[in-house]
């Protein structure tokens, strides 16, 4: 089932290059998914009563064209066929009928009390599934062994980073990670994949490791204070063509 919303890109969505940041682009698509799960049964509230909560596991998205302030965009999302304990969802952003960004995300359905996983057979949506997108970066990424990661800094999870669960919000990760890349002046993110491995809680101090490869591609890893890997990401950037 295709679900669509419309919105206007706000000046508050822009980075210092005057384009929508990587986090803003992800946020647009996550807002659309949230709207569907609020409006279409089984809603998030209905699922919570059954001790079922969706948690993001991994994602990959491509940004084909930059977005700027006051542009009108259409955002659409749809769930894809689920299997085992994985619940995939795809999203797109369109401007004037042309696709400017696409997302593949994979979710888990957990019991927040027992922390156990629900299976696809435990979920009974009222809508039909759509077709899975195929993007350049896979939704499941792990940094290859032997990659020359270097510690480049630390980030403390603060009030402005967290969601209602007091965990680092999944849409905050792209901008946080891009903040540890070499100077992003005149550059934009064109592809980004993240594996969310463990939660980062309010007050947590994350160590950020980066390896710069060729052609504007970076591997990034964030590590919690207890040594657990928080996330791993692959980010591809390019020079802006004004």
Per-domain residue ranges of the chain: 1-135, 141-242
Phi and psi based region of residue 136 (left: phi greater than 0; alpha: psi -120 to 50; beta: remaining): alpha
Q: Do domains 1-135 and 141-242 have the same CATH topology?
A: yes
Of the pLDDT bands very low, low, confident and very high (cuts 50, 70, 90), residue 124 is confident
Give the pLDDT score at 36: 95
Distances, alpha carbon 31 to alpha carbons 23, 70, 150, 219, 235, in Å:
12, 18, 34, 27, 22
Give start and end residues of each alpha helix (H) in 42-198. Answer: 44-49, 173-178
Number of C-alpha atoms within 13 angstroms, CB side, residue 25?
30
CATH number of 1-135: 3.10.129.10
Three-class SS state of 110: strand
Model pLDDT, residue 22: 98
61, pLDDT greater than 90: yes
According to the model, what pLDDT value does residue 127 have? 83
214 falls in which pLDDT band (50, 70, 90)? confident
Alpha carbon distance 33, 8 (integer Å): 17
Digit-coded pLDDT (tens) for 157-213: 999 999 988 999 999 999 999 999 999 999 999 999 999 999 999 999 999 999 999
Q: Specify the CATH number of the domain 141-242.
A: 3.10.129.10
What is the model's pLDDT at position 166?
Answer: 94
Q: Say if CB 189 and CB 63 are below 8 A apart.
A: yes
């Amino acid at each position: 089932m295709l679900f669509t919303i419309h919105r206007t890109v706000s000046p508050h969505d822009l980075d210092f290059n005057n384009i929508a940041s990587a986090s803003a682009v992800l946020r647009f698509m996550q807002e659309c998914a949230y709207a569907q799960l609020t409006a279409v049964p089984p809603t998030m509230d209905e699922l919570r009563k059954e001790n079922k909560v969706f948690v993001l596991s991994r994602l990959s998205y491509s940004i084909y064209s930059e977005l700027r302030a006051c542009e009108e965009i259409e955002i659409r999302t749809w769930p894809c066929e689920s299997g085992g304990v994985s619940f995939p969802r795809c999203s797109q952003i369109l401007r004037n009928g042309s696709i400017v960004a696409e997302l593949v995300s994979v979710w888990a359905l957990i019991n927040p009390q027992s922390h156990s996983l629900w299976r696809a057979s435990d979920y009974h949506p009222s809508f039909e599934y759509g077709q899975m997108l195929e993007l350049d970066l896979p939704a499941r990424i792990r940094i290859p062994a032997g990659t020359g990661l270097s510690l480049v800094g630390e980030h403390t999870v603060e009030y402005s980073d967290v969601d209602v669960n007091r965990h680092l919000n999944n849409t905050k990760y792209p901008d946080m990670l891009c903040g540890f890349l070499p100077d992003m002046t005149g550059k934009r993110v064109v592809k980004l994949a993240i594996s969310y491995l463990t939660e980062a809680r309010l007050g947590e101090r994350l160590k950020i490791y980066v390896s710069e490869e060729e052609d504007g591609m970076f591997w990034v890893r964030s590590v919690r204070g207890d040594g657990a890997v928080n996330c791993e990401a692959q980010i591809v950037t390019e020079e802006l063509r004004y």
